[in-house]
Homo-oligomer: A and B are copies of this chain.
Amino acid sequence: MRKTILLNNRPQGKPTVSNFEFVTEDSELTVSEGEILLEAAYVSVDPYLRGRMSDAKSYIPPFELNKPVHSGVVAKVVASKNEKFKEGDYVSGMLNWSTQQISNGEGLNKVDGSKAPLSTYLGVLGMTGLTAYLGLNEIGKPQAGETIVVSGAAGAVGSVVGQIAKILGLKVIGIAGTDEKIDMLKDKFGFDAGINYNTSKDINADLKKLAPNGVDIYFDNVGGPISDAVLFNINRFARIIICGAISVYNETELPTSLSVQPFLVKNSALMQGFIVSNYAEKFPEAIQKLAGWLSEGKLTYTETIVEGFDNIPSAFIDLFEGKNKGKMIVKI
């Protein structure tokens, strides 16, 4: 018996479990020539998936209704008629939210659980780490001695961004939503300072104290009022990396905020959106760097691992309540 999760209807505002439908099938899957049969081991849930659940007007390409949702998955090859993969291999790639599925192997990479835990291939050695490394380096062009602010800093991407920035010699300030997360940023990830946006009376004023020389790079995972506050502190030639906008993914109306244009003109500042696949040709170099830092102990990570296929939707929904620390992963 295998289970699959379909997008049943498009979320209005915050997603709920009723947006998803579980389908159970008993028929055996047939492996044709060139194909492999996969059994899901770890499933990644990520804020950006919310965008793809909306219709075409907001984020493209949207997921289709009544079709399986897909995301980053580490899966075990349980049968193979494809010479590139053998039974027992583990692979990572964009796969359906299904306990079992057939693939022709395209877009899948073999991963080695003896070199690093399998879940890291969805996190620090997967899209999460690549997003952090490539967004920071390709757009942020960090220089030792500069100051960076990271929002969503305790999240999967944010915590890696801050650590890489420290390795590169920057002053790193993280913004997150609980004191526990702020402590983790400083104690575990080596951030220089943190701001709890839920208890701060004035994020702008706090930043002025923590970054008296201004902000050179802002790695923006959230958008909204937190990003507005950072704008008041950017330096001339600042680089603002727009990685995500979790604060607005669930808005049903298009959100408004402080006009950024006057700040960008005044400071000759840059704001650049990206998705990690823009830099696909740099993946090997980035993975090599990240794996090196990981094995040297310069880079660490936090995972929130939820157990059980049935809990994928609720784990996804919990992202929008900030219930995860670091990468949110469901172990099947």
What separation, in Å, do the CA atoms of A275 and B265 have in the docked complex? 7
What separation, in Å, do the CA atoms of A270 and B256 have in the docked complex? 19
Residues of chain B lying within 8 A (CB to CB) of residue A297: none
Q: Which of A130-146 contact B (CB under 8 A)?
A: none
CB distance from A127 to the nearest CB of B (A): 15
Binding site for B on A (CB under 8 A): 51, 58-60, 220, 223-224, 227, 242-245, 248, 254-275, 278
B268 touches A271 (CB 8 A): no
B261 touches A223 (CB 8 A): yes
CB distance from A270 to the nearest CB of B (A): 5
Q: Which of A60, A220, A256, A273 has the most CB of B within 10 A?
A: A273
Residues of chain B lying within 8 A (CB to CB) of residue A245: 259, 261-262, 265
Q: List the 10 closest pairs (A to B, CB-CB), nearest first.
A: A264-B273, A265-B273, A223-B261, A271-B271, A257-B259, A255-B259, A270-B272, A245-B261, A242-B264, A256-B256
B261 touches A268 (CB 8 A): no
Copies of this chain, count: 2
Residues of chain B lying within 8 A (CB to CB) of residue A220: 261
Q: Is the interface of A mostly helix, strand, loop or mixed?
A: mixed
Residues of chain B lying within 8 A (CB to CB) of residue A51: 266
A223 touches B272 (CB 8 A): no
What separation, in Å, do the CA atoms of A244 and B266 have in the docked complex? 9
Residues of chain B lying within 8 A (CB to CB) of residue A273: 261, 263-270
A sample of 9 cross-chain residue pairs with beta-carbon separation below 8 angstroms, ordered by A number, consists of A60-B266, A245-B261, A254-B259, A254-B262, A256-B259, A261-B271, A266-B273, A270-B273, A271-B271
Contacts A270-B270, A271-B264 given: A259-B60 contact, CB under 8 Å?
no
Contacts A269-B273, A273-B266 given: A227-B261 contact, CB under 8 Å?
yes
Residues of chain B lying within 8 A (CB to CB) of residue A248: 259, 261-262
CB distance from A95 to the nearest CB of B (A): 23
What separation, in Å, do the CA atoms of A60 and B265 have in the docked complex? 11
| Closest B residue by C-beta to A275 | B268
What separation, in Å, do the CA atoms of A278 and B267 have in the docked complex? 11
B265 touches A274 (CB 8 A): yes
Q: Which of A227, A245, A261 has the most CB of B within 10 A?
A: A261
| Closest B residue by C-beta to A255 | B259
CB distance from A256 to the nearest CB of B (A): 5
Residues of chain B lying within 8 A (CB to CB) of residue A256: 256-259
What separation, in Å, do the CA atoms of A264 and B243 have in the docked complex? 9
A243 touches B257 (CB 8 A): no
Residues of chain B lying within 8 A (CB to CB) of residue A270: 270-273
Q: Which of A242, A262, A272 has the most CB of B within 10 A?
A: A262
B265 touches A243 (CB 8 A): yes
Residues of chain B lying within 8 A (CB to CB) of residue A258: 254-256
What separation, in Å, do the CA atoms of A257 and B254 have in the docked complex? 10
Contacts A264-B271, A267-B273, A270-B271 given: A259-B59 contact, CB under 8 Å?
no
